[in-house]
Amino acid sequence: MRVLILNPGSSSLKSSVVETAALRPGLPVAPLAQVSLDWGVDATAATAPADDIRRLLARYEEAGIETASLGVVGYRVVHGGTRFREPARITPDVLGQLDALRDLAPLHNGVAVVTIRAGLAAAPQLPHVAVFDTAFHATLPEEAFRYPVPEKWYRDWGIRRYGFHGMSVAWSSERAAALLDGEFEAGGTRLPNLVVAHLGSGCSVTAVEAGRSVATSMGLTPLEGLMMGTRSGSIDPGIIFALLREGRLTVDELADQLDHASGLVGVSARTSDVRELLAQESKGDEAATLALAMFVRRAAECVAAAATSLPRLDAIVFTGGIGENAASIRSRIVARLASMGIAPIDARPTKEDGALSVPGSRPAVLRIEAREDLIVAREAARTVETVRPS
């Protein structure tokens, strides 16, 4: 089955077409074609997603992939709440429920809903399936997903940790099993225990025990945890109370600044692009140097914390745009983990999946390309096959 994958992220719309007959756990498959659109630092500012989808389909037609040859359209959706623990075929009711979740992932779910509506309009003859990042974290134990707040908050208001980047982590887990010298088998009975650091526009760290999420840094929303491109990550809640009490910011202004004007761009007062910050750091820019130092420190702290949820640590995985491509950032993070017995790695760039650490060393340090598209393709096709009449 050919699957068109639409992945609306916090800064871009990525798309590809994948043939599912070739899919195997942990083995990357090249897409038949792929098209991406840059939405800038803030995807919520994208003004014409319907036009974007039509342009994407036209470009696939030019590449020889006709819309009629597709079997399903699969969408990466960040937040599924407690309602969506499995992929869901899009219906008006499902779309309404997704729209109701937009406040829990303001940089993502609203954009996803708009993208889905545009996809439905562009290809109404195809089945459309939502695949959820939060679903991978359904295995979190209660001690990991509960917050230390009044029980009523959880029972009546649903205040709990959900976790995100689930498809990226799922792929990293499968791929790591295939990469680790045959010691582990993807789909087998013995899977590696990992800490997966997804570092990109959004950043998270997840502890994976034998293929199951047992701890993760993002929480009720994708704002918690690591310092990110434009998001603050975790800060003292008292800061929020003080700013509100003193009337310095309204609730909406505060939400906007923590989501859109904090993190790397907030500290550097320049950009969230790590490539630019590294260039400025080399020229002695103090703000860029501080922003990167804070980013590295907080990422290392979260990796170390996640490792405490595992009975052993077999490997640390770097993935996502920064994790895959910013070799010096990877090296700096690993250097801060020396007290955990993690050996240093070279700050050498690579475009290939594999070990960055000395062969045979444990814990290993791996670089893995994020392939959420393969997880979306597999789950969307499986959902369509499941509901297909016999």
- State how many domains the chain has: 2
What pLDDT, on a 0 to 100 scale, did the predictor assign at position 54?
A: 85
Domain-located, residue 294: yes
First CA to last CA distance, the chain: 17
What pLDDT, on a 0 to 100 scale, did the predictor assign at position 223?
A: 95
What pLDDT, on a 0 to 100 scale, did the predictor assign at position 319?
A: 98
On whether both 304 and 186 belong to a single domain, the answer is yes
What pLDDT, on a 0 to 100 scale, did the predictor assign at position 369?
A: 97
On whether both 227 and 355 belong to a single domain, the answer is yes
Mind listing the pLDDT tens digit for each residue in 196-233? 999 999 999 999 999 999 999 999 999 999 999 999 99
Share of the chain above pLDDT 70, in %: 93
Name residue, tokens 């990525």.
14
On whether both 104 and 251 belong to a single domain, the answer is no
Domain-located, residue 385: no
On whether both 24 and 58 belong to a single domain, the answer is yes
What pLDDT, on a 0 to 100 scale, did the predictor assign at position 99?
A: 85
**Domain, as residue range, for 147:** 2-163
Q: What are the DSSP calls for 252-312, one per residue?
A: HHHHHHHHHS-HHHHHHSS-S-HHHHHHHHHTT-HHHHHHHHHHHHHHHHHHHHHHTTSSS
CATH of the domain at 86: 3.30.420.40
- Stretches in the chain below the pLDDT threshold 50: 41-45, 389-390
Three-class DSSP category at 129: strand
Domain-located, residue 379: no
On whether both 338 and 255 belong to a single domain, the answer is yes
What pLDDT, on a 0 to 100 scale, did the predictor assign at position 51?
A: 80
Domain-located, residue 71: yes
Closest C-alpha among 105, 81, 112, 109 to residue 14: 112
Mind listing the pLDDT tens digit for each residue in 292-307? 999 999 999 999 999 9
Check: CB of residue 207 under 8 Å from CB of residue 307.
yes
Query: Could you list the active site residues?
Result: 133
Query: How many residues does this entry show for the chain?
Result: 390
Which residues face 366 on adjacent strands? 317, 355
Distance CA 377, CA 15 (A): 11
Which residues face 367 on adjacent strands? 318, 354
